Structure 1
Amino acid sequence: MAQQAPWGKPDQPITHADRVYAAEQFSNTVSVTDPVDNKLLGVIRLGEPQPMNFAPLYKGQVLTHGMGFSPDGKTLAIVSIGSNGVSFVDTATNTVKHTTYVGRSPHEAFFTPDGTAVWVTVRGEDYVSVLDTKTYEEVARVKTPGGPGMTIFSPDGKYAYICSSFNPITVVIEVASRTQVGEVKQPSPFCPNIAVTPDGKQVWFTQKDTGKLVAFSALPPFTVLKTMDMGPIANHVNFANVKGKTYAYVTIGGLSQVKVLRVADYSTVATIPVGAMPHGVWPSSDGSRVYVGLENDDKLAVIDTGTNKVIATIPIGQAPQALAFVSGAAASPDADAKLAQLGIAGNTYSLVLRDGTGERTHVTLFDQGLVQVLQAAVTGLEPKKPYFVALADAPTGGNLQPLARFMSNPAGAAIVNASGPIRQLVDTPASTARRYLVITDSAGDAPGKVLQHQP
């Protein structure tokens, strides 16, 4: 019997009782998908679109991002990084049964293997908040290097592995005593995601800033086994057992690809084009499918692990981040009927920017009604330099109006966000001068030379 990701039922075929959930950052929703029909059933709304959240936020969640689920599949823990909330969702009713507020900008949450606690990485601070799953109250804080990114547990529940998003250190905590028993040096500070192989022998984490992937031993002395180059904006990693062999699936946001690696020898066996900005990744319980959230496509891609081909893409909410396949979640037909529909969250507008060598940047406008959120997955720049996303009155320049200033990461990439009535400005009547999105270098505090532009 092949065990898959945490809490997966070994070798259990996909059924209508299973669900795929995705946490969606700009629509502030959790999408609910039937994996048999590859059909979106609806979304759980946790918050409102912009510009409602520009004002004081008295209720609802903003920037729905992280996700964990209980070993029995009955509860989701959904993290909203803009409102510091952990929403506990009952999978049988698709309703929020409690919300706990923690410290500044939490990122991910996951249940301990015994189901008694949820560890929430509080990335804006320097600790993990431990929540009791019966009272939903914080019962402890585990000190970490500043900016903890994610916690994952060994299958036996003995160790917690916590990577950092601000410091080049992953720490290992003994769960029973909540004390540090080891650490692993990260090649760079920014780790967003960490996973354990199904056999519990290895831990893998991604480096979003440098595009690397690191594997280390899950047991003392927690030795680094392999460091691999993946590509710009390496996002999440997860595992699936396929025909007796274990494979890793790594989302490479800047390349719109999922790379498949054989765990036994770390070799890359497939590169799968999936769509714009792949982010979260999770296997089905039988390992026959791997699900990928496409952050800049607002879709869920379904990979057949036997052929390493995308067999379906499902429209979901805006900018999916973490996701999970939950065996036997079994929401009732009545509960599914109460799910909200996408509405304006289903409206997105996409384009690409090019330089002299080809397509480099994917830009998506997420419709929020009165305004849009612009997100650009930028690649092909020089590392650690300032740049602008701007509007131009000609395809390759002219009068430039800056939308956002940003710094490229060590891989020459960046994820850039801006908000405003951008579609209305670009989609103008024929009688009005058209404007174009471009990326420029920095001339002090103003846009300089155009480096990337619309075709």
Structure 2
Amino acid sequence: MKHILLSLGLLAGTMLGSVASFAGQVPGAASGPDIAISGKDRIYAGEQFSNTVSVTDPSTNKLLGVIKLGDPQPSSLSPLYKGQILVHGLGFSPDHKTLAVVSIGSNSVTFIDTATNAVKHTTYLGRSPHEAFYTPDGKELWVTVRGEDYISVIDAATFGEKLQMKVPGGPGMQIFSPDGKYGYICSSFNPETVVVSVADHKIVGSIKQESPFCPNIAASPDGKQVWFTLKDIGKVQVFDARPPFNIIKTIDTGPITNHVNIVHNANGTFAYITLGGNNEVKVYRTDTFEQVATIPVGKLPHGLWPSGDGTRVYVGLENADAMAVIDTLANKVVATIPIGQAPQAVVYVPNAVPEGDGTQNLQPLGLAANAVNLQLVGNKKEKDGNAPTNVTLFDQGLLQVLQASVTGLDPKTEYVLALSATPDGKGELQPLSSFKTNPGGSAIVNALGPIRQIVQNAEKSQRRYLVIAAAGEEGPGDVVQTQTK
């Protein structure tokens, strides 16, 4: 009997060790348990043009509805007394009961009960907050106030701002070490990431960024690495999560490198990175930094987050009003889910709804389900295999928000998005928006108006076509990209 018990004990220890080695997903520690996908879990996406948060059941890959936080355009052109605008960033509490939603245009963070989808409180902050996340002990919510030079530290119990923590101007996002000791804060305006001691809110380390534009950052569950994206130059950098916080690796990823997240599964630990300019997700090992997969996902992938067991990654497609579901063991898309307009941040919250169906206070998509997709291609062969410029017209009623994910142009160069009376762009052009490409020859360009009615007009004499032209001193110059459909 002793031998049997000893054998069973050894077997149990082996099994527990095996489970532990494949356990723990962000933002938790690797030592934590994996949580199998179930109907109690929820996937949330912050949607910038419909001003909604979509709520999806990962067990069925079905959209349950949206939480409406504000009205579509052009409501923001008059005083905004109620509601939120430019819904963007997301975070969730360690007990999985509260979702924090950052709205850039109304300078706010909205706290939502995950079980009922009800708004519990809204806290207003400084200029243009971007992302928010809870400290691992759940006592504080840190919000990067991107239009300022500080982190707003909010008391999670009272929802009130308790202090403003000075950091390099334009903080992009913060995330925490799994043990709760450090906060890692990258910058969108300065080439510097800082490390802050959570206990006393003091800066204890600094990492040089290769460019000043970092929108997103992720810490590995094993507490060893931090990855951050550089959207303007198409790179990712990795540094040691422990002092002295040295840079470990710099990786050339591709145009419009948006978000990064870490996934642990039976095959190892991997970084998943969205490339908006190429409409794909790239996957890298975190031990050797070898690229192991390139996954086509859809138009302008932005935020992404793994399931509680690491078997799936969910990717918001900003120019497709959809979410792609990636099987992380096969590294292929297994589902695409329609959601709200221009999804930005995405989070997966295990056991968000312990009881009931969790559909209270949800609304159907409505106008947010309507969008038109167009493409522009260059007059010369696309550089480096870049995807064509994707254009989405997000329906706001009589008007549409136009968003173009521009690729394949010369870097750091002025251009004009315009309307042409002919498909080839010859003749007089009517400018819609001027822009300058980033060092990777890419840009995100926006405009507002009755554009769908113009570019899809049945009357040939009234129809216009989208083009991109070089900027000139006396108006648009040579046309470099034209509309294909």
CA shift, 1:177, in A, is 1.1
The answer as to whether partners of 2:41 and 2:57 remain within 8 angstroms in 1 is yes
Greater alpha carbon shift after TM alignment, 71-80 vs 322-331: 322-331
Q: How far did 1:332 drift?
A: 5.3
Higher alpha-carbon deviation: 50-59 or 425-434: 425-434
* 2: CA distance, partners of 1:10 / 1:395: 57
Structure 2 counterpart of 1:427:
456
Whether the 8 Å CA contact 2:51–2:70 is kept in 1: the answer is yes
Q: Deviations over 1:340-380 (max 9, x none)?
A: 00001000100111012155200000000121000000011
Distance 2:474 2:321 in 1: 33
Task: Say which of 406, 415, 424 aligns to 1:387.
Answer: 415
Post-superposition shift, 1:399? 2.0
Of 334, 347, 361 in structure 1, the residue corresponding to residue 389 of structure 2 is: 361
Which aligned pairs between 1:293-372 and structure 2 lie closer than 5 A?
293-330=316-353, 333=356, 335-355=358-378, 356-358=380-382, 359-372=387-400
Structure 1 residue aligned with 2:27: 6
Larger Rg: 2
* Candidates 343, 361, 376, aligned match of 2:404: 376
- The question of whether the paired residues in 1 share the 8 Å contact of 2:28 and 2:178 is answered with no
Q: Which amino acid aligns with 2:33?
A: P
Query: Would the aligned equivalents of 1:116 and 1:134 in 2 still touch at CA under 8 Å?
Result: yes
**How far did 1:244 drift?**
4.9
Give distance in 1, aligned partners of 2:327 and 2:180: 30
TM-score, length-scaled by structure 1: 0.98
Encode CA deviations 1:224-259: one digit per residue, 9 max, x unaligned: 000000001000000111215101100000000000
**Residues 16-41 of structure 1, C-alpha deviations (whole Å, 9 max, x = no match):** 00000000000000000000100000
Q: How far apart, CA to CA, are the structure 2 residues paired with 1:324 and 1:83?
A: 21
1:51–1:370 Cα contact (<8 Å) kept: no
Aligned twin of 1:137: 160
In structure 2, distance between residues paired with 1:302 and 1:124:
33
Aligned residue identity for 2:24 = Q
1:94–1:331 Cα contact (<8 Å) kept? no
Equivalent position SS for 1:12: coil
| Contact 2:118–2:361 (Cα < 8 Å) also in 1 | no
CA deviations 1:114-146 (Å, max 9, x no partner) are 000000000000000000011100001110111
The answer to whether the 8 Å contact 1:4/1:283 transfers is yes
Residue in structure 2 matching 1:418, options 424, 443, 447 = 447
Partner Cα separation in structure 2 for residue 431 and residue 226 of structure 1: 54
Letter in 2 for 1:365: L
- The amino acid across from 1:4 in the alignment is Q
Q: In the alignment, what sits opposite 2:79?
A: 56
How far residue 281 of structure 1 moved from its aligned partner, in angstroms, is 0.6
What are the residue-to-residue correspondences of 1:273-292 with 2, within 5 Å? 273-292=296-315
The answer as to whether partners of 1:193 and 1:237 remain within 8 angstroms in 2 is: yes
Hey, what's the Cα distance between the residues in 2 that align with 1:244 and 1:212?
A: 25
1:295, distance to aligned residue in structure 2 (A): 0.4
Unmatched tracts of structure 1, length 5 or more: none
Residues 7, 72 of structure 1: 8 Å contact kept: no
**Which 5+ residue runs of structure 2 have no aligned equivalent?**
1-19
- Aligned pairs, how many? 455
Corresponding residue of 2:231: 208
Query: 1:400 maps to which residue?
Result: 429
Give the deviation of 1:306 after TM superposition. 1.0
Is the partner of 2:368 in helix, strand or coil? helix
Name the amino acid aligned to 2:462.
A
Residue type of the partner of 2:364? Q
Which stretch of the first structure deviates more once superposed, 137-146 or 4-13?
A: 4-13
- 1:433 to partner: Cα distance: 3.2
When residues 27 and 445 of structure 1 are mapped into structure 2, their CA distance, relative to the original with a 3 A threshold, is: farther
Query: By how many angstroms is 1:52 displaced?
Result: 1.2
Map 1:57-136 onto structure 2 (within 5 A): 57-136=80-159
Aligned partners of 2:215 and 2:463: how far apart in 1? 38
Name the aligned partner's letter for residue 401 of structure 2: V
Using the TM superposition, give the Cα deviation of residue 431 of structure 1 relative to its aligned residue in structure 2, in angstroms: 5.1
CA distance in 2, matches of 1:7, 1:67: 16
User: Paired residue for 1:437?
Assistant: 466
Correspondence for 1:265 among 288, 295, 310: 288
Structure 2 CA distance for aligned equivalents of residues 291 and 379 of structure 1: 24
Give the stretch that moved more between structures: 410-419 or 359-368.
359-368
Note the C-alpha offset of 1:445. Answer: 5.3
The letter for the 2-side match of 1:210 is I
Secondary structure of residue in 2 paired with 1:336: coil
Note the aligned Cα RMSD (angstroms). Answer: 1.2
1:216-255 matched pairs, under 5 angstroms: 216-255=239-278
Aligned to 2:39: 16
Identity %: 62
Secondary structure (helix, strand or coil) at the match of 1:254 reads: coil
CA contact (8 A) 2:117 2:360 kept: no
Q: Deviations over 1:152-173 (max 9, x none)?
A: 0001111100000000000001
Q: How many Å apart are 1:335 and its aligned residue? A: 4.3
Amino acid at match of 1:220: P
Compared CA separation, residues 351 and 120, structure 1 to 2 (3 A): same
Q: What is the one-letter code of the residue matched to 1:440?
A: A
Give the drift of 1:11: 1.9
Structure 1 residue 338: Cα displacement: 3.3
Distance (whole Å) between structure 2 residues aligned to residue 399 and residue 353 of structure 1: 18
Q: Counterpart of 2:421 in 1: which secondary structure?
A: strand
Higher strand share: 1
Q: CA deviation at 1:430?
A: 2.7
Residues 248 and 230 (structure 1), Cα distance of their counterparts in 2 relative to 1, 3 Å cut: same
